[in-house]
Amino acid sequence: MSTDRLTIFDTTLRDGEQAPGFSMRIDEKLKLARQLATLGVDLIEAGFPIASEADAESVRVISEQVQGPVIAALARCHPADIDRAGEALAAAPRRRIHVFIATSDLHLERKLRMTREACLDAAVAAIHRARRFTEDVQFSAEDATRSDMDFLCRVIQEVISAGCTTVNLPDTVGYSTPDEIGEFFRTVLSRVPNAGHATFSAHCHDDLGLAVANTLAAVRAGARQVECTVNGIGERAGNASLEEIVMATRVRADLLPYTTSIEPREIYPSSQLLTALTGEAVQANKAIVGRNAFAHEAGIHQDGMLKDRRTYEIMRPEEVGVPQATLVIGKHSGRHAVQRRCEQIGLALERHEVETVYWAIMSIADREKVVSDRDLADVIGRIRGKRQTAGTPASVTDFNGTPAEVGYGHGV
């Protein structure tokens, strides 16, 4: 099976930043753009210049100060939008204008109040105008997956003939399933005569939780650019997550034989920076970058991890920049995990202390759900203090006055 390279088009600063709660100031956008360059993305969509002066300025600043990736700016198929985008990108050594217009009848009739012919004319005119500023022009057919196939293919053929170099076919409202997306891209690529003259791109939203799956299905059907965001942020339920797409291709190279320019060890630092800039935390169970992604509480899992981490981890945390896997001490933890966590915080247990400390910790876990490192240190300190005072090993009843109850899931 041959290996193909995927272009990573990062839209964290545009589509991601549009989501409520994720807006950033110009200096914050610049800081994140520099990190995205370090991460190794191929393109940074820096903003939508016509939307506001601040958006235009952020594109200008990033164009001037961020080296490496192509800098892209979004524009509707309106002359003023395109001119503003071209002006904002002027300082970028490598730049792309990304023009878009809706192609579904629903959007054309209900939102744009325009005919199919007017849509086609606007799309072609936009390509010609954008090429005054750069030869790298991308066209997006908004709501592509709900568009009439015959009309969509006609639009794509015409914009490629006009000089468009990348065609993006978004699942704008996250309506499709992987099977549908795969068939959709295969159909378009087979029906557009000049499809080979452009790169096709997938931009999938996560309204049904299928954005990454749909993106990978599009790739397997022939797309070679993926549009994604750090932490999967974006409009409504978000976009396809950059980290999930990248690590899927690395972990499952047998089924997804695609390479990217991403430096995986910068994934977690990028996620953490975005969180710090926006104040919006990543959900605990988020794949790759959530705080539980490499955390293990169940005793059976912890025992397997201590013997061979491959038993319960399909990737190493350090691969994505996470310092280490975490043994979370809770009511499902086993003795080995408690002992190892004590060692990790510099409080190695003597053999005769393990049982006493374990049951004392389980008593706390039943009340508090998760036991902190401070809890561990306090328990050990109190038990050792009692032993020194009495001259004999402390018992479980010495610690809290009552026999510790046996929890469930502890015994590994």
- The CATH fold assigned to 4-278 is TIM Barrel (3.20.20)
- Distance between CA atoms of residues 103 and 116, nearest Å: 8
pLDDT digits (tens, 9 = 90+) for 268-308: 999 999 999 999 988 888 999 887 776 655 555 656 655 76
pLDDT digits (tens, 9 = 90+) for 398-412: 444 333 333 333 333
Residues 6+ apart with CB under 8 A from 310: none
Q: Structure pTM?
A: 0.80
**Residue predicted with more confidence, 308 or 135:** 135
Share of the chain above pLDDT 90, in %: 67
- Distance between CA atoms of residues 298 and 408, nearest Å: 10
Instruction: Assign 316 to helix, strand or coil.
Output: coil
Share of the chain above pLDDT 70, in %: 87
Say which amino acid occupies 320: V
Q: What count of other Cβ atoms lies within 10 Å of the Cβ of residue 180? A: 15
Q: Where are the domains of the chain?
A: 4-278, 295-400
Say which amino acid occupies 182: G
Residue corresponding to tokens 């996250």: 174
Residue 394 has what pLDDT?
A: 44
Q: 229: which strand partners? A: 241
- State the Cα angle at 238 between 51 and 67, rounded to 5°: 60
Identify whether the C-beta of residue 125 lies closer than 8 Å to the C-beta of residue 158. no
Kindly state the average pLDDT of the residues 117-122. Answer: 98
Kindly state the average pLDDT of the residues 174-188. Answer: 98
Half-sphere exposure of 304 (CA within 13 A, CB side): 11
pLDDT digits (tens, 9 = 90+) for 52-93: 999 999 999 999 999 999 999 999 999 999 999 999 999 999
Kindly state the average pLDDT of the residues 380-407. Answer: 53
- Which residues in 119-278 belong to E strands, given as ranges? 137-142, 166-171, 199-204, 225-228, 258-259
Identify whether the C-beta of residue 327 lies closer than 8 Å to the C-beta of residue 341. yes
Position 125 pLDDT exceeds 70: yes
Residue 253: left if φ>0, alpha if ψ -120 to 50, beta else—which one? alpha
Query: How far does the chain reach from its first CA to its final CA, in angstroms?
Result: 42
- Distance between CA atoms of residues 290 and 310, nearest Å: 19
